Amino acid sequence: MPKPRIYFDYNASAPLSEAAREAVVAALNVTGNPSSVHQEGRAARALVESARRDVAALCGAKPDHVFFTSGATEAANTLLTPLYKMGRSELRLSHLYVSATEHPCMLSGGRFAAENMTVLPVDHQGIVDLDVLEQALKAHDKAKGLPLVAVQWANNETGVIQPVEKIGALVKAAGGFFIVDAVQAAGRIALDIAAASADYLILSSHKIGGPKGVGAVVAISDLVMPSALVRGGGQEKGHRAGTEALPLIAGFGAAAREALAAQQEGSNLPRWSDTIRTTIENGVRRLADDVLVHGDAVPRLPNTSFISLPGMKAETMQIAFDLGGIALSAGSACSSGKVGASHVLAAMGYEDECGALRVSTEKSATMQDAEAFLTIFERLVARRDQTRSQVQAQFSGESENNAA
């Protein structure tokens, strides 16, 4: 009987939780359209509003300030627009500021023209340069419109947690608006939209054990909202047209409810994942003294390690782990399976050839899983060192022949 595979790629997608699965199946049997006023429609609407309350509770927001999308990418493209509305009045945001380590859906700039976008540098640990941000905001021409700043709460590759409270304070002092991509942070650290000084959060269902294909924009208030990206029937109070994906939304709500309950019970990630991460990171350092654990000097998500082994390509290591029964990523899984250079590492100042493995775990991870990872890693180190020795021996032989 084959050994069960080990899943270390939760930052790409978490398995569907049982509660979310049950909610999806139950909602599939609800006939009505949430926009209909008859009994069947009201039953469907009740499920949507229940999920809205659960998603809002996960990040300390009001249910009326949550609207559902098809995922985080749509949420980002909705928010990244120069046109906002305050009631019926238009409000223009003239320039977008994003960090260099953002997810591609943020770095694309959404509906902003390229010339109206600034990419902010990060330091060697992946933290946004606050001095550069502050100076950029001071130099911003408010006569053209207000600034819009967008950063991740936690990076999808390194797990590095940004000082969102400090960033938010700078944005507020400049009279701007602040978007926080909380996709990876949700369910792993406590979220509070007000404490982060954020105007908007972005969430994704499948990162917290809900179904794929649904996400949300969470706003601090409904006073200022972006111009709708998807227009038509006026659903979601006009913020996102189209009949709500009832089963997906119901599953999202169940996953959010589970995530919040785990935090409130004290059984959230730090109690178990720090131990797994520490075992893995101490182990790889013991096996290779030149190994790099990116972002290890600053706060990170307790479930994430981003590891480079100099002299070994990330995709080569990823294949070896896959063949060994362990699923993980070489960087982020955001480009249809493409494995390439990490823009996150490039932004942090590492050389182009520096690839990395992302190990991202959850509650199901065991110490035996960590040891299995280290066993494969040890073989990779031995393979690399043998190749280096052979190259060195060949080089030494050629040098002696040339000398003779």
Q: Any idea which residues carry the catalytic annotation? A: 334
Phi-psi region of 336 (alpha: psi -120 to 50; beta: other; left: phi over 0): left
DSSP string, 100-132: TTS-HHHHT-TTS-GGGEEEEPB-TTS-B-HHH
The candidate with the shortest Cα–Cα distance to 162, out of 294, 293, 271, 301, is 301
Helix, strand, coil percentages in the chain from 3-state DSSP, rounded to 5: 40, 20, 40
Rg (alpha carbons) of the chain, rounded to whole number: 23
The CA distance from 65 to 218, in Å, is: 6
Q: Give the total residue count for the chain.
A: 404
The CA distance from 267 to 259, in Å, is: 10
The CA distance from 67 to 55, in Å, is: 10
The CA distance from 241 to 264, in Å, is: 34
Token pair of 239, please?
């913020």
Our measurement of the distance from residue 360's CA atom to the centroid of its chain's CA atoms, rounded to an integer in Å, reads: 11
- The secondary structure of 331-396, three-state, reads CCCCCCCCCCCCHHHHHCCCCCCCCCEEEECCCCCCHHHHHHHHHHHHHHHHHHHHHHHHHHHHHH
The CA distance from 370 to 328, in Å, is: 13
Contact of 191 with 58, CB cutoff 8 Å? yes
